[in-house]
């Protein structure tokens, strides 16, 4: 989780001024770059099981991750972690 926390701090949070200013034309390419880094790190769709290509997290692990991603309004989107129901496995 420390690597993910650091990634959010170093890579995702700095994009927030573009979001808040409405400069979506500049934000989208940068956010796509970050999403590619997330995929390459094996963090994409963390709520899925490992067999489905996710991180195979337990509910408490996912809660910790969600807290980290929630530090930025872009966090969950960057990790493609939206509307998943981890408790329904």
Answer whether residue 89 shows pLDDT above 70: no
Domain span including residue 43? 2-82
Within a domain: residue 60?
yes
Contacts of 48 (CB under 8 A, 6+ apart): 54, 55, 56, 84
Say how many domains are in the chain. 1
Return the pLDDT at 87.
52
**CATH at 52:** 1.10.540.10
Within a domain: residue 66?
yes
Work out the average pLDDT over 15-36: 96
Give the separation between CA 12 and CA 32, rounded to whole angstroms: 11
Tell me the percentage of the chain whose pLDDT exceeds 70.
Answer: 91
Within a domain: residue 20?
yes
Q: What pTM was estimated for this model as a whole?
A: 0.86
Work out the average pLDDT over 26-49: 93
Within a domain: residue 89?
no
């Amino acid at each position: 989780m420390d690597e993910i926390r650091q990634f959010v701090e170093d890579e995702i949070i700095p994009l927030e001024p573009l979001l808040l200013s409405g400069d979506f034309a500049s934000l989208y390419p940068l956010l796509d770059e970050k999403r590619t880094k997330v995929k390459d790190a094996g963090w994409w769709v963390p709520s899925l099981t490992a067999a489905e290509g996710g991180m195979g997290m337990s509910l408490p692990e996912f809660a910790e991750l969600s807290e980290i991603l929630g530090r930025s309004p872009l966090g969950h989107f960057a990790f493609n972690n939206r509307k998943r129901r981890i408790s329904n496995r």
